[in-house]
């Protein structure tokens, strides 16, 4: 749930503007301002950008922060505020979901901020994803079993990395590893490595410097042509491997705390 309606109402009143005065500033209808503030409608992406620019905020702050007298804006030197994101829209001015297939994965690291590269990617829409910025990534390998290689992960663009939660799955775009689908294993802290986990226990957890990360997309859904297989009863070997992995994770956590 976003806080867009209460935030718009608070910010307008803080500037001492009526709904009509604010509408005149943004060159929109007053009825739209009322609809947005009363949660009867949600602004489209281009209008969200106008609101954010007008109030000198990021779209993430405008949507997800509860802005009031106690709220403090993030430092504009925060790396989460200086990333550039290219998007495309359809003829109704609705954001597309661009698909990054495996064959385009290698080029994505160089083209993620290039409007021409992004515009050449396949595009689609999903009715449940109307608010926010989404992208589809086709994953490869078996590190995130039971999700199979070739599965498409639908990710929502995460502007503020501080909102990462332990255990969430994300698409991590990094300078060295390119596109990786992993589970978050540590809280995000500036200037500290981020721990990433694989769901397949045969893969060891690893850390990545936040300076290497260029984008994070929080996993929201997946599309696959392969249905899950019947899970077999665990064997002694698999139970032993799971216990060993858990013991190692606990040891790692204790080392990090000390």
Domain annotation for the chain: domains and CATH numbers: 4-64 (1.10.260.40), 94-223 (2.10.109.10)
Beta strand pairing call for 194-197 and 206-208? antiparallel
Q: What angle do CA 149, 153, 159 make, to 5 degrees?
A: 140
The whole-number pLDDT of residue 208 equals 92
Confidence (pLDDT) at 134: 96
Long-range pairs, 30-38, Cβ under 8 A, ≥24: 33/8, 36/4, 36/5, 36/8, 37/5, 37/8, 37/9, 37/12, 38/5
Closest CA to 85 of 113, 60, 47: 113
Q: Quote the pLDDT of residue 45.
A: 75
Token pair 């109704």 is found at: 92
Return d(Cα 198, Cα 181) in angstroms, integer: 8
> Helix/strand/coil (H, E, C) string of 122-142?
CEECCCCCCCCCEEEEECCCC
pLDDT recorded at residue 61: 82
pLDDT value for 83: 58
Of 218, 208, 142, 207, nearest to 175 (Cα)? 208
Secondary structure class of 65 (helix, strand, coil): coil
Query: What is the model's pTM?
Result: 0.60
Between CA 107 and CA 130 the distance in angstroms is 27
pLDDT at 170: 97
Predicted local distance difference test score (pLDDT) of residue 82? 47
pLDDT, residue 14, reads 92
Query: For residue 224, what are the contacts with CB-CB under 8 A and spacing of at least 6?
Result: 147, 148, 150, 151, 152
Residue 81 has what pLDDT? 44
- What pLDDT is stored for residue 246 in this prediction? 81
For residue 69 the two structure tokens come to: 């007298």
CB 253 within 8 A of CB 187: no
* Confidence at residue 192, expressed as pLDDT on a 0 to 100 scale: 87
Bridge partner residues of 152 (DSSP): 138, 223
Distance CA 222, CA 154 (A): 6
Q: In what order do the strands lie in the sheet with 134-138?
A: 123-124, 97-100, 134-138, 152-157, 213-223, 169-174, 178-184, 194-197, 206-208
User: Given this model, what pLDDT does residue 76 score?
Assistant: 44
User: pLDDT tens, 127-171?
Assistant: 999 888 999 999 999 999 889 999 999 999 998 888 899 999 999
The closest alpha carbon to 168, from 149, 151, 152, 181, belongs to 181
Asked whether 185 and 166 are in contact (CB, 8 A), the reply is yes
Q: Which residues of the chain have pLDDT under 50?
A: 76-82
pLDDT at res. 231: 60
Q: Check residue 257 and give its pLDDT.
A: 64
Closest CA to 162 of 182, 134, 184: 184
């Amino acid at each position: 749930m976003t806080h867009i309606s209460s935030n718009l109402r608070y910010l307008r009143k803080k500037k001492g503007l009526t709904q009509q005065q604010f509408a005149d500033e943004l060159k929109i209808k007053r009825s739209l301002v009322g609809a947005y503030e009363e949660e009867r409608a949600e602004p489209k992406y281009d209008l969200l950008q106008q609101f954010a620019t007008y109030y000198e905020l990021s779209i993430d702050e405008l949507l997800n922060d509860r802005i009031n007298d106690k709220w403090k804006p993030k430092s504009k030197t925060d790396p989460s505020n200086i990333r550039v994101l290219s998007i495309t829209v359809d003829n109704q001015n609705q954001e597309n979901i661009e698909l990054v297939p495996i064959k385009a994965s290698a080029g994505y690291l160089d083209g993620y901020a290039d409007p021409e590269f992004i515009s050449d990617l396949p595009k689609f829409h999903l009715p449940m994803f109307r608010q926010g910025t989404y992208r589809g990534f086709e994953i490869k390998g078996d590190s995130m079993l039971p999700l199979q290689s070739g599965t498409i992960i639908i990710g929502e663009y995460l502007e503020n990395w501080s909102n990462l939660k332990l255990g969430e799955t994300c698409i991590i775009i990094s300078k060295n590893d390119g596109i990786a689908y992993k589970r978050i294993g540590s809280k995000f802290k500036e200037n500290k490595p981020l721990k990433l986990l694989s769901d397949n226990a045969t893969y060891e957890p690893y850390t990545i410097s936040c300076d290497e990360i260029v984008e994070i997309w929080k996993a929201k859904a997946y599309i696959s042509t392969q249905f899950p297989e019947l899970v077999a009863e665990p064997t002694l070997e698999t139970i032993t491997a799971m216990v060993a992995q858990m013991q190692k994770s606990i040891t790692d956590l204790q080392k990090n705390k000390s």
